[in-house]
Amino acid sequence: MSTLVWRATAESYKGLKAGTGQSATNVADSWESMQRPCRESTSGVYVLPARNSREPAAVFKPKDEEVGRGHGRVLADFGRGSGAVREVAAYELDREGFAGVSETRMVKLSAGGLEKEGMLQAFVENVGDSEDYGPSLFGVENVQRIAAFDIRIMNADRHAGNLLVSKTDGEYKLHPIDHGLSMPDNVRTLPWPVWMDWEQVKQPMTAEVKDYIMNLDPQSDAKLLRSKFGKAISDGAVDALTCGTVLLQVGASLGLSLFDVGKMIFSVDAETPGFMERLLTNPVVSHLANVLEQSCQVESRCSTIVELTLESASLLAEIDPNKVHDLVAQINSNGN
């Protein structure tokens, strides 16, 4: 882990928002002060300048300054201090830059005997967040890439403020931040993300998004997380990632939109079990999964149940593709 000098002040950078474009390692080895940004946050969030400059280079979030986040049932799936690890894990899963997660690393910052461990994430220059702009400004590919990533990691915290906006040559682009409430310890119904209300996700998946989804390897992802983070990432969190990935792949193979897939795990009422949560606790489906586990080597019980249920829907698709969409709508309407 990197060792940097740490000193905080109560001052704030007026108008400063997180963003990137540079490496998270391009941070000063020492500085006069590390300051809180003006963005509201209940947990500790600090802005770090670049070497030989007062320009922002990264954001630091100490593990010991994390507070319980989320609401209701969702809160129980994210232990205090686990957010930093999940943020780094999200970057590792998006290392190729498909969704555009900024470079993120776990570091230790110390000074005068005081040491802080936490997440360090590179900045992206931005002109605000998605709450400041109409969703029609954002491209279909850009929105769908982030939506697919959120489903994959089962992100429980994609509100408008967690999508920063950049503008280059008149083109607006979204940049996802804050993934500390992703990969929950249990697969359950999650809060409705802001993009679920946007038209871009109701359109068919783009060729690039669908190709990326179908080439994901959930078992390799699981091995990556276990090798890099060990017990800092729970088995339940790894299973949630696997489940989200399989759900995406089966949905893509059936021709569902990201909105259709999203309805299986997101709800405006996250306190009420939705499709995916009810599916995983259904006694008939669980029995069939047990049979498969006993006769085959199964890596993930969650993904087995997802494949077992949704792949069976492909039989309906052979008869009438619209019946798959009707099935999803019926399941979700029964759960509301």
Per-residue pLDDT band for 295 (boundaries 50, 70, 90) equals: low
* pLDDT at 154 (0 to 100): 96
Closest CA to 30 of 5, 2, 56: 5
* pLDDT at 11 (0 to 100): 27
Q: Taking the mean position of all CA atoms in its chain, how far away is CA 265? A: 13
In 10 A of CB 169, how many CB atoms? 4
Range from 106-120, 169-183, 291-305 carrying the lowest mean pLDDT: 291-305
Most confident of 62-76, 150-164, 258-272, 310-324: 150-164
Q: Structural domain of residue 70, as residue ranges?
A: 3-335
What's the average model confidence in pLDDT over 255-278?
Answer: 88
* pLDDT at 281 (0 to 100): 75
Residue 236 exposed, middle or buried by CB count within 10 Å (0-12, 13-18, 19+): middle
pLDDT in tens, 35-50: 444 455 556 788 787 7
pLDDT in tens, 43-89: 678 878 777 777 788 888 888 888 765 566 777 788 777 899 999 99
Please list, in sequence order, all residues whose beta carbon lies within 8 angstroms of the beta carbon of residue 139, skipping any fewer than 6 positions away: 171, 173, 200
- The span from the first CA to the last CA of the chain, in angstroms, equals 47
Q: Which residue has the tokens 């679920």?
A: 196
* pLDDT at 36 (0 to 100): 45
Q: Taking the mean position of all CA atoms in its chain, how far away is CA 277? A: 18
Q: Which residue has the higher pLDDT, 270 or 35?
A: 270
Q: Give Cα separations from 287 to 76, 220, 294 (angstroms).
A: 27, 27, 11
Task: Please tell me whether residue 198 adopts helix, strand or coil conformation.
Answer: coil
In 10 A of CB 189, how many CB atoms? 23
Name the CA radius of gyration of the chain, rounded: 21
DSSP 45-104: -EEEEPTTS-SEEEEEEEGGG----S-GGGGGGS-TT-HHHHHHHHHHHTTT-SS-PPPE
* pLDDT at 226 (0 to 100): 94
Domain count of the chain?
1
pLDDT in tens, 305-315: 666 666 555 54
Distance CA(161)–CA(135), nearest Å, equals 13
What's the average model confidence in pLDDT over 180-186?
Answer: 93
Model confidence at 5: pLDDT above 60: no
Task: Please tell me whether residue 326 adopts helix, strand or coil conformation.
Answer: helix
* pLDDT at 21 (0 to 100): 37
Model confidence at 172: pLDDT above 50: yes
Range from 77-91, 111-125, 168-182, 223-237 carrying the lowest mean pLDDT: 111-125
Q: Which residue has the higher pLDDT, 287 or 238?
A: 238
> Global pTM?
0.79
Model confidence at 224: pLDDT above 60: yes
Half-sphere exposure of 3 (CA within 13 A, CB side): 6
Q: What are phi and psi of 332, to 5 degrees?
A: -75, -35
* pLDDT at 27 (0 to 100): 44
| Angle value at C-alpha 61, between 59 and 62, nearest 5 degrees | 140
